[in-house]
Amino acid sequence: MGFDRYWGDSEDIHRMYQIAEKWWEGTKKPNVNNKRGQFVVAVKNVVIGMYNRLLPAQRALKIYQGENRAMFEVKNGKVLRDASKIAGYSQTKQYGFDKNWEDEAELKRLYGVAKMWSKTFVVVEGKKLRGKFPNKRSAAKRLRALAKKSKKPLSVFLVSFGHASYVKVKGERWKKRQREAMRKTLKARLKKWNAKRVKALRRE
């Protein structure tokens, strides 16, 4: 048939197969649609942002070369733990996902970063943020401790993907106009705080 081939044993042919497969994968161009959805990019201990389109999220993922990073999909307000597939695509370089994590433990930690950003309870005293908490109970405990010493307006807000909503807890103290002012202060402070973290990450 004219095939002038040569290999020593099965191990040899397997090695050549892997070389050919690697070359073939490298010739494929990512065929990813700019799908709508909600996509969170986490880098080290920072959430870079949430994106409503897939391609901008992929571009954000590529910026932080050398850092542990991953993208997570959000559905029905919840961050999906399984990061192996995003919008139906495998999270690999073949499909334009320039992700990087060392092992499953690191991926789990990045998931925790993304999840924390998606649902955080914040205690606000007047124009000051008095702590971020993973659940309503711990936030309410902090508020009651502050209420014993402070006469300023006190409230708890749930922050989810950049949006702040009021949460009713025992011991809160505010008037309607004060609560709205606190909510606006909170949003501005959180935006500034996250921007500082992202800026610090880029300097590293």
Q: Predicted confidence band at 200 (pLDDT cuts at 50, 70, 90)?
A: low
- At position 104, the amino acid (one-letter code) is E
The verdict on 130 and 199 lying in the same domain is yes
Q: Predicted confidence band at 7 (pLDDT cuts at 50, 70, 90)?
A: low
The verdict on 110 and 136 lying in the same domain is no
Question: Is the residue at 28 inside a domain?
Answer: no
Rounded CA gap, 68 and 34, in Å? 24
The verdict on 77 and 147 lying in the same domain is no
Compute the chain's Rg from CA coordinates: 24
| H/E stretch holding 57 | helix 54-63
What domain count does the chain have?
2
The verdict on 103 and 154 lying in the same domain is no
Question: Is the residue at 99 inside a domain?
Answer: yes
pLDDT in tens, 49-101: 788 889 889 988 888 888 899 999 988 878 899 999 999 899 988 888 999 99
The verdict on 182 and 154 lying in the same domain is yes
Stretch among 26-35, 79-88, 112-121 having the lowest mean pLDDT:
26-35
Long-range contacts, stretch 17-26, CB < 8 angstroms, 24+ apart:
25/94
pLDDT in tens, 158-167: 887 667 788 8
| H/E stretch holding 143 | helix 136-147
The verdict on 89 and 137 lying in the same domain is no
What residues pair up with 49 in beta bridges, in sequence order?
Answer: 41
Give residue 161's domain range: 120-203
pLDDT greater at residue 181 or residue 28: 181
The verdict on 106 and 142 lying in the same domain is no
Listed in sequence order, the residues at least 6 apart from 142 whose beta carbon sits closer than 8 Å to its beta carbon are 123, 130, 131, 133
**37-64 exposure pattern, b = at least 16 Cβ within 10 A, e = fewer:** ebbbbbbeebbbbbbebbeebbebbeeb
